Amino acid sequence: MFDLDELKEACSIVNKIVTPTLQNNWPQLSELAGCEVWVKHENHTPTGAFKVRGGVYLLNQLMKSANPPKGLISATRGNHGQSLSFSCKRAGLPLTIVVPENNNEDQNRAIKSFGTDLIIYGKDFEAARQHSLELQKSSGYLPIPPFCKELVLGVATYAYEFLSELKDLDTIYVAVGMGSGICGLIKTRDLLGLKTKIVGVVAEGAPTFALSFEAKKIINTDYANTLADGVATSAPMADAFDMILNGADRIVTVSEEQIKHAMYQYYQTTHNLAEGAGSVPLAGLLKEKDSMAGKKVGVILSGGNIDFERYTQFVSSIANDF
């Protein structure tokens, strides 16, 4: 998909806009997990999530091409839309984003704040994505899929920051939504010649990648129901699935309660706000803490974009158990 020189060039482009994010070993979190835990804080980007890296790199490539598009169109549950909105505003390029019904209102407001044309359609992400493709025919805008080389290469800059500094990590836990985050890690790990195991984590309510990984073929589901919006996927893209199947060690499934517990523990042990999808990797580590005992482990806190009402509701329900 890309080589090491391309990745380093992408870092030089992205880091002009997105400074390298914190990667920290938190003692209380390590004590909780029973291992040396390093957190990659992608909740500390200009849009509060790792996706912005992909948008910055994609727009850089599009705008320097011989025939830049007149506008872009895509679908999202939130962070992908914020990424494109942030980058299109900087480039002065019109953007239409389609989100499903009952999408996070904080995400909707954030997307619209960049001047993006926001359209609400469908019961889930896949319905919104299909509608965006229909709208593209009349708009003439360039459709941006949730997974493509430019997005993965831009996102992989976080993996390069992490793995070029922490080359002796035994395992990294990362959420799996549409695949750019985990694929960026896998490709960067391979380019650097490291032996770090990459473990994908999904929610029980959105198990398509876990089912597909186990079956070694894509298995779509007719549902994706989880508080972790960023992993609410029902139909994996073939390119992403192939990279995950060939490069991930395993896929771990976590419950809604385990995700809430991880959100609570992030605040309790690090005072960081973590959205559902951003908490999924920590939930996976805590589920497997016995097998990770004493090891050096990374977790990707991929974002902190969750509305206050839901966050307090989820966290308070768990806090009562302590």
In this structure, are 112 and 240 located in the same domain? Answer: no
Average pLDDT over residues 52-72: 97
Q: Is there a domain that residue 196 lies in?
A: yes
Residues 237 and 254 in one domain: yes
Q: What does the mean pLDDT of the chain come to?
A: 95
254, part of any domain? yes
Mean pLDDT of 52-59: 98
> Which residues, in sequence order, are bridge partners of residue 297?
37, 171
Phi and psi at residue 300, to the nearest 5°: -100, 110
- At residue 310, the pLDDT reads 84
195 plus 266 within the same structural domain: yes
- Please compute the mean of the pLDDT values over residues 22-36 and round it to a whole number: 98
- For residues 127 and 166, state if they share a domain: no
> Does 149 reside within a domain?
no
What is the CB neighbour count within 10 angstroms for residue 160?
23
- Only one residue has tokens 């704040």, namely 113
Residues 124 and 112 in one domain: yes
Query: Do 291 and 164 belong together in one domain?
Result: yes
Shared domain for 175 and 218, answered yes or no, is yes
Checking if the pLDDT of 309 tops 90, the result is no
Q: Could you say which of 91, 113, 143 is where a domain stops?
A: 143
Confidence of residue 188 (pLDDT cuts 50, 70, 90): very high
- CA gap 207, 321 in Å, rounded: 27
Q: Does the structure show a pLDDT above 90 at 307?
A: no
Listed residues 112, 143, 174: the one ending a domain? 143
- Structural domain of 130: 52-143
138 and 165 in a single domain? The answer is no
pLDDT band of residue 317 (cuts 50, 70, 90) is confident
CATH code where residue 138 lies = 3.40.50.1100
Percent with pLDDT over 90 in the chain:
89
Q: What share of the chain is helix, strand, coil (3-state, %, to 5)?
A: 50, 15, 35
For the record, the structure tokens of 56 come out as: 């910055």
Same domain (yes/no): 249, 103 = no
Residue 104 binned pLDDT confidence (cut-offs 50, 70, 90): confident
Within-domain flag for 150:
no
Element housing 242 (H / E):
helix 238-247
Q: Distance (Å, rounded) from C-alpha 61 to C-alpha 68?
A: 9
d(CA 132, CA 307): 25
Q: Residue 254 is inside which H or E element, if any?
A: strand 250-254
The pLDDT value given to residue 322: 58
Q: How many domains does the chain have?
A: 2
Residues 6+ apart with CB under 8 A from 19: none
Last residue of a domain, one of 143, 163, 193: 143
Stretch 222-234: mean pLDDT: 91
Residues 33 and 92 in one domain: no
Same domain, 173 and 291: yes
- The pLDDT assigned to 224 comes to 87
pLDDT at 126: 86
Residue 47: how many other CB atoms lie within 10 Å: 26
For residue 321, the model assigns a pLDDT of 67
Instruction: Give the per-residue pLDDT at 158.
Output: 98
pLDDT tens digits, residue range 210-219? 999 999 999 9
Q: Does 159 share its domain with 292? A: yes
CA distance 152 to 182: 9
Specify the pLDDT at position 320: 66
**C-alpha closest to that of 72 among 96, 89, 98, 108:** 96
